[in-house]
C-alpha cells in the first residue's frame, strides 16, 4: 500500500526549495503526494502564489488563515485558525506523514495539529540558526518532529544537542540549491528579455522585517532604497514575507520613487533564480543571499541581523547595524571590480552542492515503512 506524504507550505520560497523533492515523491510508486497550501500562498497582497503551486501539482487543500494585518495579535490569531483548520484537513486527507521545511510560524501551527493527531513529522532544515524569531519556531518544530533532514554538520550537532536521537538525524544539504545545480530555472537571457534587463546592470532588493527589531523596518528599507538609487542601475524590488512588521517594509517601498524600479509582490522560483544569476548585487536580508547567491557568485549586501547565525560564503558583505554610510560603503564594495575579482574561483558552499532531493528520497524509502519508528520519542 502506498504511503501518503502530505507536504504543508505557507510561502513560495519553501515550495520552490522542495520542488524537485516533491516531483520525486509524486513519481515514486511507493508514495502518494498530498499538497496543502496556506498563508502567503493564498494572499493577493503577496502575489497569491497558490497559482504557481498548481502549475506543478494538484492541491489537496487550502487553509485560509484570515490574517488582516501585521501586528503580533493578528498573526497570533491567524496561527490559531491555522491549527484548527489543519486538524480538519488532516482528518480528511489522513496522511501517513507530514513533510515540512524550515522555520515559519504557520509551519509550526500545522506541525502542532499533526502531532496531536499522531501523524509523524519529517522536518527539513532544522538546526539552523539566524538571530530572528524564526529560531524559536524552528527549534520548536524540531522537538515536535520525528525525522530530521538537516543542511550541514553544524545543524546536525544542534539538533542532537536539543535531545533528538542521532539515528533520526540525516545531513542532506540545503534543498534551496537543487534547482540551481540541476539547471532547473529560467535562463538569464529569457528573464532579461521578459523584464527588460541587462546582465550585471541591475540590483535586486529583498528585505524582510526583523521580528526581534521590527520598529526599524521602515527606516532600514528606506535607507536601502535610497542608497541603491545612488549606484544608478535598474532595480528589482520584491515584497517581504508575512512576518510581523511587513507592513512597514511595504510602506517604505510604496513611498519610494526610484527611477527604473520594478516592484513585484512575488516572482516565480525559476524567474527569481534566473534574475539572481545575472544581478549586479542582491541587497537585503533574504536567506537566498546566504544560500543560493553563492552558486552564481553574485555579490550580496546582507543588511541587519536576520541572518546573523547562518554560515556564509565569501560573496557576502555584512552590514549588521545599518545606517546610510555603512550601507553605501557596502554597496560600493560589492560593485567594485577589484573586490569582485578577488573572490575565489570556487566559493565555499557550506550548504552543499544541490543533491538534497535525492538524499531526502533515500531517507523516505529507508524510514517510511518502519511501523514502530514513531511510537516513542526520547527526550
Beta bridge partners, 74, equal none
Q: What is the pLDDT of residue 129?
A: 83
- In angstroms, the CA 70 to CA 249 distance is 11
Q: Over the stretch 323-353, which tens digit does the pLDDT of each residue have?
A: 999 999 999 999 999 999 999 999 999 998 7
Mapped onto helix, strand or coil, the DSSP state of residue 4 is strand
Q: What is the pLDDT of residue 182?
A: 93
DSSP string of 55-76, one letter each residue: TTS---EEE-----SSSHHHHH
Q: What is the pLDDT of residue 357?
A: 96
Q: What is the pLDDT of residue 167?
A: 93
The answer to whether residue 372 scores a pLDDT higher than 70 is no
Mapped onto helix, strand or coil, the DSSP state of residue 149 is strand
Contacts 24+ apart (CB under 8 A), 153-158: 154/127, 154/311, 155/125, 155/126, 155/127, 155/128, 156/127, 157/127, 158/126, 158/127, 158/128, 158/129
Mapped onto helix, strand or coil, the DSSP state of residue 113 is helix
Q: What is the pLDDT of residue 47?
A: 80
CA 3 to chain centre: 27
CA 336 to chain centre: 29
Strands 234-238 and 97-101: unpaired
Q: Over the stretch 117-175, which tens digit does the pLDDT of each residue have?
A: 999 999 999 999 887 788 899 999 999 999 999 999 999 999 999 999 999 999 999 99
Mapped onto helix, strand or coil, the DSSP state of residue 16 is helix
Work out the end-to-end distance of the chain between its first and last CA atoms, rounded to an integer number of angstroms: 32
Q: Judge whether 113 and 81 are in contact, CB under 8 Å.
A: no
C-alpha cell at 326: 555603512
Domain(s) labelled CATH 3.40.50.2000 in the chain stretch across 3-180+354-367, 186-342
Q: Judge whether 291 and 174 are in contact, CB under 8 Å.
A: yes
How many C-beta neighbours within 10 Å does residue 161 have? Answer: 9
- In angstroms, the CA 191 to CA 24 distance is 27
Q: What is the pLDDT of residue 374?
A: 67
- In angstroms, the CA 281 to CA 334 distance is 7
Q: Which of 95, 22, 9, 11 is nearest to 57 (CA)?
A: 22
In Å, the largest CA–CA distance within the chain is 62
Q: Over the stretch 11-39, which tens digit does the pLDDT of each residue have?
A: 888 898 999 999 999 999 999 999 999 99
The CATH number, out of the four listed (3.30.70.340, 3.40.50.2000, 3.40.50.10860, 1.10.645.10), of the domain defined by the range 186-342: 3.40.50.2000
Name the CATH superfamily for 3-180+354-367: Glycogen Phosphorylase B; (3.40.50.2000)
Q: Over the stretch 221-263, which tens digit does the pLDDT of each residue have?
A: 999 999 999 888 899 999 998 888 899 999 999 999 778 899 9
Q: Over the stretch 348-359, which tens digit does the pLDDT of each residue have?
A: 999 987 899 999
Q: Over the stretch 256-302, which tens digit does the pLDDT of each residue have?
A: 977 889 999 999 999 999 999 999 999 999 999 999 999 999 999 99
Where b means 16+ CB within 10 Å and e means fewer, 281-292 reads bbbbbbbbbbbb
- In angstroms, the CA 266 to CA 250 distance is 13
DSSP 231: T
Mean pLDDT of the chain: 93
Residue with cell 536576520: 306
- In angstroms, the CA 83 to CA 110 distance is 6
Query: Across residues 357-367, what is the average pLDDT?
Result: 96
pLDDT confidence tier of residue 373, bands split at 50, 70 and 90: low
- Predicted structure pTM score: 0.90
pLDDT confidence tier of residue 49, bands split at 50, 70 and 90: confident
Residue with cell 497569491: 48
The crossing angle, in degrees rounded to 10, of helices 105-116 and 72-93 is 40
pLDDT confidence tier of residue 113, bands split at 50, 70 and 90: very high
Instruction: Name which of 68-72, 148-152, 301-305, 367-371 the model is least confident about.
Output: 367-371
* C-alpha neighbours within 13 Å on the C-beta side of residue 316: 27
Q: What is the pLDDT of residue 38?
A: 95
Residue with cell 487543500: 61
Q: Which residues contact 71 (CB under 8 A, 6 or more apart)?
A: 244
DSSP 260: T
Q: What is the pLDDT of residue 64?
A: 95
- In angstroms, the CA 51 to CA 37 distance is 11
Q: Judge whether 102 and 124 are in contact, CB under 8 Å.
A: yes
Amino acid at each position: 500500500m502506498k504511503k501518503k506524504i502530505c507536504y504543508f507550505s505557507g510561502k513560495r520560497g519553501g515550495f520552490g526549495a522542495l520542488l524537485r523533492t516533491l516531483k520525486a515523491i509524486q513519481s515514486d510508486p511507493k508514495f502518494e503526494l498530498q499538497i496543502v497550501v496556506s498563508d502567503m500562498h493564498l494572499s493577493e497582497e503577496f502575489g497569491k502564489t497558490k497559482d504557481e503551486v498548481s502549475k506543478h501539482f494538484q492541491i489537496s487543500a487550502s487553509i485560509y488563515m484570515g490574517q488582516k494585518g501585521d501586528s503580533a495579535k493578528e498573526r497570533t490569531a491567524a496561527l490559531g485558525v491555522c491549527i484548527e483548520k489543519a486538524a480538519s484537513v488532516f482528518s480528511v486527507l489522513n496522511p501517513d506523514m507530514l513533510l515540512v521545511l524550515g522555520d515559519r510560524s504557520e509551519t509550526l501551527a500545522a506541525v502542532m495539529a499533526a502531532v496531536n493527531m499522531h501523524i509523524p513529522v519529517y522536518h527539513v532544515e532544522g538546526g539552523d540558526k539566524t538571530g530572528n524569531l524564526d529560531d524559536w519556531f524552528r527549534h520548536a518544530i524540531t522537538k515536535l518532529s520525528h525525522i530530521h533532514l538537516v543542511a550541514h554538520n553544524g545543524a546536525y550537532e544542534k539538533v542532537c544537542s536539543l535531545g533528538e536521537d542521532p539515528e533520526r538525524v540525516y545531513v542532506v544539504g540545503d534543498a534551496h540549491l537543487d534547482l540551481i545545480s540541476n539547471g532547473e530555472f529560467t535562463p538569464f537571457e529569457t528573464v532579461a528579455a521578459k523584464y527588460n534587463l541587462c546582465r550585471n546592470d541591475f540590483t535586486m532588493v529583498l528585505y524582510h522585517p526583523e521580528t526581534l527589531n521590527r520598529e526599524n523596518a521602515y527606516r532600514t528599507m528606506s535607507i536601502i532604497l535610497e542608497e541603491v538609487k545612488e549606484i544608478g542601475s535598474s532595480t528589482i524590488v520584491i515584497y517581504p514575507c508575512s512576518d510581523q512588521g511587513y507592513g512597514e517594509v511595504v510602506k517604505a517601498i510604496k513611498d519610494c520613487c526610484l527611477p527604473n524600479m520594478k516592484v513585484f509582490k512575488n516572482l516565480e522560483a525559476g524567474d527569481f533564480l534566473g534574475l539572481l544569476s545575472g544581478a549586479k548585487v542582491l541587497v537585503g536580508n533574504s536567506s537566498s543571499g546566504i544560500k543560493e547567491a553563492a552558486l552564481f557568485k553574485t555579490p550580496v549586501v546582507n543588511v541587519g541581523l536576520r541572518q546573523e547565525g547562518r554560515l556564509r560564503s565569501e560573496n557576502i558583505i555584512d552590514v549588521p547595524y545599518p545606517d546610510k554610510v555603512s550601507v553605501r560603503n557596502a554597496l560600493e564594495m560589492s560593485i567594485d571590480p577589484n573586490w569582485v575579482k578577488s573572490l575565489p574561483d570556487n566559493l565555499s558552499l557550506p550548504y552543499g552542492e544541490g543533491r538534497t532531493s535525492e538524499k531526502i528520497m533515500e531517507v523516505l524509502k529507508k524510514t517510511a515503512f518502519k511501523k514502530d519508528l514513531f511510537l516513542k520519542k526520547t527526550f
